[in-house]
Chains A and B, each alone.
Chain A
């Protein structure tokens, strides 16, 4: 018997199925989800505001903590934005080292995601398998940069640590390890019947929807959009790699329909691509300086005299990350705007979460690799201490007013 009554189902803000606080309100008919409403704003940390009280060098380490996994991508986009304003030329060796660390981060992020996805569908053996092999790349990152997660590797105009011959040997050993394991891993992830049964045809985001909702990263590529910042707007060493192209499920001979399986296939293929890019960079690593040679204080004093605005775009493991800065003769940027990948991909949840079953909710939500803290925006606290949220029109008017003010200061 078909039920014609729709029930609301609240999940969140704090729920064991999600890794971060976010609230979903589903409308369900029996076991079927017919609509979803998403409520952000439970973990806003005011990073952009804090950044206005720190100097240019301190901000790098603040932005590493925007996201625990993309801890290279956020400062990378910030450094690109500052270098854009100041016109700083990055030495070739530094560009290659940046590319290597960025791809190592992508490798570890995608292995982490496959583990999380396996855990969400209840396949905990695979979760432990992928997180076990992920330790190798974390060890490699630790030897290369000194830290496992927040690498503290970047500075404006270069990198802070060089790759020594010992490090190079570790990287080669790690690459051999993953090359041996890649076939086995991709076989488990792409051909296993249990995984296929749970992921194929679930959480579909069509190409048109992905294009209209401005999806980025593996979410967009899984839906068949050929967009990748590394190819479209190359930075670092990416434009010197001749064979680099956006990954799509067509590479394994499957026409993309935009389900969870396609997004997983894109990530698995990107693991292979990251290994190849690191190999290319290690073979073609040029000699020379690793930064511009000016210390932190000299760099702050140079940037203090500048005015203007700059933008930095970088392909994080989850998609495009974009930082916008305005400089105005001060020790800190007067304005910094962070656009994290989940901010774009969050809208894609709405079509994905319709016409699925309740049991598929965790894997569909996890399929865009969400980072809720990165995307949190809407928290408005009045000066008398009482907290309130504001409507979209008010927010729009306020943001126009604020950016006009910042621009006026900048253009003066």
Chain B
């Protein structure tokens, strides 16, 4: 009986033996950790895998073709001020993305690229890790009077 109480108290203060899943909690040297635990290491993905999208804000011209063909309406255009010129840029909400690659195919400047990165889980779908182009938006967006922040509103 007393032994059990001792065990419970020990469990309360023990360090957790598992890692939190979202990628920001993964230890830096993941491979070493996995080898230590003698778990099968993750296998490499095949060529042509549809993973996380990458966005190049420099080459983008703000034509908006990608948001026109996106089947999930995951791409949002916002007014931006770049080099003292009024133009448009995009953000991609990965929580809505269906990874169909239409935007990659249609982009005339190849500003959107698909990568093989797949570890994207997070607690909040509007976090910077799940919105491609989040930091550029904060830098370049022209804030209008009375406009609300869409990212905070939710669906």
List residues of chain A with CB under 8 Å of any chain B CB: 54-55, 57-62, 142-143, 146-147, 150, 152, 160-161, 166, 295-297
Are A58 and B71 in contact, with the CB atoms below 8 A? Answer: yes
**Which chain B residues numbered 33 to 55 have a C-beta less than 8 Å away from chain A?**
46-50
Contact check: which of A54, A166, A297 meets B71 at CB < 8 Å?
A54
B101 x A152 contact (CB < 8 A): yes
Other than A61-B100, A150-B98, A152-B99, give 8 A-B pairs with Cβ distance below 8 A. A55-B69, A61-B98, A142-B46, A142-B49, A143-B47, A143-B48, A146-B48, A297-B106
A60 and B71 contact, CB distance less than 8 A: yes
Question: Contact between A166 and B65 (Cβ–Cβ < 8 Å)?
Answer: no
Q: Does B59 contact A (CB under 8 A)?
A: no
Complex interface: chain B residues within 8 A of A296 (CB): 69, 102, 105-106
> Is B98 touching A58 in the complex (CB atoms < 8 A)?
no
Q: Which of B49, B69, B102, B106 contacts A146 (CB 8 A)?
A: B49
A147 to B114, CA, bound (A): 13
A297 and B69 in contact, given A143-B48, A146-B48, A160-B105 (Cβ under 8 angstroms)? yes
B19 to chain A, nearest CB (A): 26
In the complex, residue of chain B having the shortest beta-carbon distance to the beta carbon of A295: B106
Does residue B143 face the partner (Cβ distance < 8 Å to A)? no
In angstroms, Cα B100 to Cα A150, docked, is 9
Q: How many residues of B contact A (CB 8 A)?
A: 18
Chain B, 60-92, CB within 8 A of any chain A CB: 65, 68-72
Q: A55 CA to B101 CA in the complex, in Å?
A: 16
Which B residues are in CB contact (< 8 Å) with A146?
Answer: 48-50, 99, 101
B residues near A58, Cβ cutoff 8 Å? 69-71
Interface centre among A54, A55, A152, A166 (most CB of B within 10 A): A152
Quick check: B99 and A147 within 8 Å, CB to CB?
Answer: yes
A161 to B101, CA, bound (A): 11
Contact residues in A for B101 (Cβ distance below 8 Å): 146, 152, 160
Is the Cβ of B72 less than 8 Å from the Cβ of A61? yes
24 A-B residue pairs with Cβ-Cβ distance under 8 Å, sorted by A, are A55-B68, A57-B71, A57-B102, A58-B70, A58-B71, A59-B71, A61-B72, A62-B71, A142-B46, A142-B49, A143-B46, A143-B47, A143-B48, A146-B49, A147-B99, A152-B50, A152-B98, A152-B99, A161-B48, A295-B106, A296-B69, A296-B102, A297-B68, A297-B106
With both chains docked as a complex, state the minimum distance between the C-beta of B81 and any C-beta of chain A, in angstroms.
Answer: 27
Q: A146 vs B48: C-alpha distance in the bound complex, in angstroms? A: 6
- Most chain B beta carbons < 10 A, residue from A142, A146, A147, A161: A146
Which A residue sits closest to B70, measured CB to CB?
Answer: A58
Ranked 3 nearest A-B pairs via Cβ: A61-B71, A152-B100, A58-B71
Please, which residue of chain A has its CB at the minimum distance from the CB of B71?
A61
Q: Given the complex of chains A and B, what is the CA–CA distance between A58 and B65 in angstroms?
A: 13
**How far in angstroms is the closest Cβ of chain A from B112?**
14
Shortest beta-carbon distance from B79 to chain A in Å? 22
Complex Cα–Cα for A166 and B47 (A): 10
Bound-state Cα–Cα, A54 to B50, Å: 23
Give A60 to B101 CA distance when docked, in angstroms.
Answer: 13
How distant is the Cα of A102 from the Cα of B50 in the complex, in angstroms? 20
A147 contacts which chain B residues (CB < 8 A)?
Answer: 50, 99
State the CA gap A31–B47 with chains docked (Å): 55
With both beta carbons as reference points, the residue of chain B lying nearest to A58 in the complex is identified as B71
Q: Report the bound CA distance from A300 to B50 in whole Å.
A: 24
Chain A residue contacts of B98, Cβ below 8 A: 61, 150, 152
Query: In the complex, A60→B72 CA distance in Å?
Result: 11
Contacts of A161 in B (CB 8 A): 48
Please name all residues of chain B whose beta carbon is closer than 8 Å to the beta carbon of A59 when the two chains form the complex.
Answer: 71
CB < 8 Å neighbour of B105 from A54, A142, A166, A295: A295
Residues of B within 8 A of A57 (CB): 69, 71, 102
Interfacial chain B residues near A55, Cβ < 8 Å: 68-69
Contacts of B99 in A (CB 8 A): 146-147, 152
Cβ–Cβ < 8 Å partners of B102 in chain A: 57, 61, 296
Q: Closest residue of chain B to A170, judged by CB?
A: B46
Report the separation of the CA atoms of residues A58 and B50 in the bound assembly, to the nearest whole angstrom: 18
Q: How far is the CB of B64 from chain A (nearest CB, A)?
A: 10
Determine how close the nearest CB of chain B comes to the CB of A31; give it in whole angstroms.
Answer: 47
